[in-house]
Structure 1
Amino acid sequence: MKRIIVTKDVTMEDIAKRIQYFTDRANEIHVLISKDKAQAKREYIKLCEEQDSEYNELTLVKNKQIVNSLGALRAYRGYFGHLHFIKNAYDNLSWNLGEFSQGQSWFNVFGKDIED
């Protein structure tokens, strides 16, 4: 799934698909924990960097106007705001990966209703 580019053409469907990608990928990594914890941690780090990069785009000053004017992008920013990772350690992998599902739950209940 391709990353979301901040434009006026982004739809709520695009956002929902991207959030589903993050959740699915986190679930795949979670399964990997029991097989290869070190690989799971490496994959989690990559996924975390990917989401961090997209969140950063949504919070850049140059994108403020378009993000604030488009409900889908505001919802996407809200999704990222609901991800609360704790110290990146092996013991915290399950918690941190579960945050993607928690963020998706927020989006499904509240985020999809954000209007332009």
Structure 2
Amino acid sequence: MRESYLGRVLDMIGEPPGRYRDPAAWSRLENDLGVILPTDFKEIVVDCYAPVLINGHLSLKHPATGRWNLGEWIRSTADVWSQIEWDEGEPEGDPRVSLRVPDLVFGTPDGMIPTPQPTVEK
């Protein structure tokens, strides 16, 4: 068994096919977002498996493909989050309260950038 967390994840899900090795795809996405995304996340998604649905439950998106495109998903999710009327809800459900910020910004280096969570595909 490998020492690192990433190594243990790779041991668990098997040898990666590495179909879409494209470091330039990450550079384009990170330049567009204005941030550097976590190395382990990029290694699992780009260098190893994505786009893929693992065991019918874990969906990994990829920044260099048309289907399950990570960049498109981040942009569309940030857009949807930006349209929420946060003032209409209960104060305890308003993220501005817990984050102690007056305004919420999404999809920029000064705001929150959505990252995909595992999704269950039916």
Give TM-score scaled by structure 2 length: 0.28
Q: Which has the higher helix share?
A: 1
Give TM-score scaled by structure 1 length: 0.29
Instruction: From the CA coordinates, give the structure whose radius of gyration is larger.
Output: 2
Q: Which has the higher contact order (CA 8 A, sep 6+)?
A: 1
